[in-house]
Amino acid sequence: MKKAPIVFHYGCMASEKSLALIQDYRKAVSVGERCLCYVPANNSDPKNIVSRFMAGEGSSSLEEIAIAATPVKNSAELWHEVEAHMTRAYDRASEMGIVIARFRLNVIIDEVQLFDEGIKKVVDDLAYNGVRVVCAGLDLDFRGEPFPLRGESHVTVPDIMAISTEKHQHYAKCACPLEDGAPCGNDATRSQRFDDVEHQIPSPYEADTIIVEKGHYIPVCEEHHRVPGKHKVLLVTHNISNPS
């Protein structure tokens, strides 16, 4: 079976990555292709989906573009879900005497950064088996560093991007207020996190990578990204001699 492409949509928060997935979904079903959509489930409450994929991030009419997605706890469960679907499809085709020459299946995954590191191999294996995979996720964490996946092998989201056939970067608008009170408005590539919902205290470098509380993040450009404790400060002393 011919290897299928891996498509990755990446960018900071509020960059409408989820809308890109929904557009891909619509295009696929318009030509009769099957789509399986998955989002990560909150491990402490599997019914609490940590994703806005079903709502369509950034839309003013959320209900009109909502699509169903299955919450899964980890990458292994996602693999088993797809495997079970393909097995049922082949069994039905066999019963009907149909030979499947090309499996027109798309697996769409949102919030990839919230999965475990096994998601990289799952994505690669699905593509190897002829399944087109479309992913979306944050490429960088709040520190502005490659987003780490859960596990011991130090796999990051950019590692998945590296094996992707197509990579599409999405931008938000920088929400950092300037002196006149209006937001900056430049292309945002970072997700700025704060310890407070008033957005006055930037989270320090040593803070946990993931918090799911609402109101602690805003999209910002690189110029307005602040992470206390991340960078060393280079002090340059200028000695000015007395010309007299």
Whether 195 shows a pLDDT value over 80: the answer reads: yes
- Where does residue 114 fall: left (phi above 0), alpha (psi -120 to 50 degrees), or beta otherwise? alpha
Q: Label residue 78 by pLDDT band (50, 70, 90).
A: very high
Whether 39 shows a pLDDT value over 50: the answer reads: yes
Q: Which pLDDT does position 62 carry in this prediction?
A: 45
CATH code of 171-229, in short, is: 3.30.60.20
Instruction: For residues 52-65, give the mean pLDDT.
Output: 48
Copy the structure tokens of residue 237.
């002393």
pLDDT tens for residues 96-148? 776 555 568 999 999 999 999 999 999 999 999 999 999 999 999 999 999 99
Look at the domain 6-170 and name its fold: Rossmann fold (3.40.50)
Query: CA 139 to CA 11: how far, in whole Å?
Result: 6
Q: Which pLDDT does position 211 carry in this prediction?
A: 86
Instruction: For residues 161-189, give the mean pLDDT.
Output: 97
- In DSSP terms, 169 is beta-bridged to 10
Q: Which residues of 2-30 are buried (b: 16+ CB within 10 A; e: fewer)?
A: eebebbbbbbbbbbbbbbbbbebbeebee
Q: Which pLDDT does position 53 carry in this prediction?
A: 52
Share of the chain above pLDDT 90, in %: 69
Find where tokens 């999209």 sit.
219
Whether 235 shows a pLDDT value over 90: the answer reads: no
Instruction: For residues 54-73, give the mean pLDDT.
Output: 62
Q: Which pLDDT does position 103 carry in this prediction?
A: 65
Whether 155 shows a pLDDT value over 80: the answer reads: yes
Whether 233 shows a pLDDT value over 50: the answer reads: yes
SS3 assignment, position 193: strand
Sequence-distant contacts of 85-89: CB under 8 A, at least 24 apart: 85/36, 86/129, 86/131
CATH 3.30.60.20 residue ranges of the chain are 171-229
**Cα 228 vs. chain centroid, distance in angstroms?**
24
Q: Label residue 57 by pLDDT band (50, 70, 90).
A: very low
Instruction: For residues 170-187, give the mean pLDDT.
Output: 96
Side chain identity at 217, as an amino acid letter? Y
> What is the 8-class DSSP label of residue 34?
E
CATH 3.40.50.300 residue ranges of the chain are 6-170
Which is higher by pLDDT, 208 or 64? Answer: 208
Find where tokens 């002196």 sit.
179
Whether 61 shows a pLDDT value over 80: the answer reads: no
Q: Which pLDDT does position 52 carry in this prediction?
A: 47
**Which region among 63-72, 125-134, 223-232 has the lowest average model confidence (pLDDT)?**
63-72
**Active site members:** 111
